[in-house]
Structure 1
Amino acid sequence: MSVVRFGVSLEKELLDDLDEFVKKNRFTNRSQAIRQLIAENTARSKWECNNIVVGSITLIYDHHKRELVHKLHDIQHHYHHEILSSQHFHLNHEKCMEIIAVKGEAKLLTELSDKLIAIKGIQHGKLTMSRA
Structure 2
Amino acid sequence: MRTSLAVPDGILEEFDATWRAEGIDSRSRAVREAMAEYVERHRTLETTTGSVTGVVVFDYEHESVIERLHDVQHDYQDAIVSTSHAHQGDWCLETVFVEGEAERVRRLVYRLKDFDGVRRVRFMFL
Q: TM-score range by the shorter chain?
A: 0.5 to 0.7
Larger Rg: 1
> Is 1:117 aligned to 2:113, yes or no?
yes
Show structure 2 runs of 5+ residues with no match.
Answer: 1-42
Shift of 1:80: 0.9
* Alignment partner of 1:100 out of 86, 96, 101: 96
Q: Find the residue that maps to 2:123 and give its secondary structure.
A: strand
Equivalent position of 2:80 in the other structure: 83
> Is the 8 Å Cα contact of residues 54 and 104 (structure 1) preserved in structure 2?
yes
What's the TM-score, normalizing by structure 2?
A: 0.60
Shift of 1:54: 0.6
Equivalent position of 1:70 in the other structure: 67
Equivalent position of 1:61 in the other structure: 60
Q: Find the residue that maps to 2:104 and give its secondary structure.
A: helix
Of Structure 1 and Structure 2, the greater helix share is in 2
Change (3 A) 1:49 1:60: closer
- Give RMSD over aligned pairs: 2.1
Q: Which amino acid aligns with 1:71?
A: R
Q: Which amino acid aligns with 2:60?
A: Y
Shift of 1:64: 2.4
> Is the 8 Å Cα contact of residues 110 and 127 (structure 1) preserved in structure 2?
no
Paired residue total: 84
Equivalent position of 1:127 in the other structure: 123
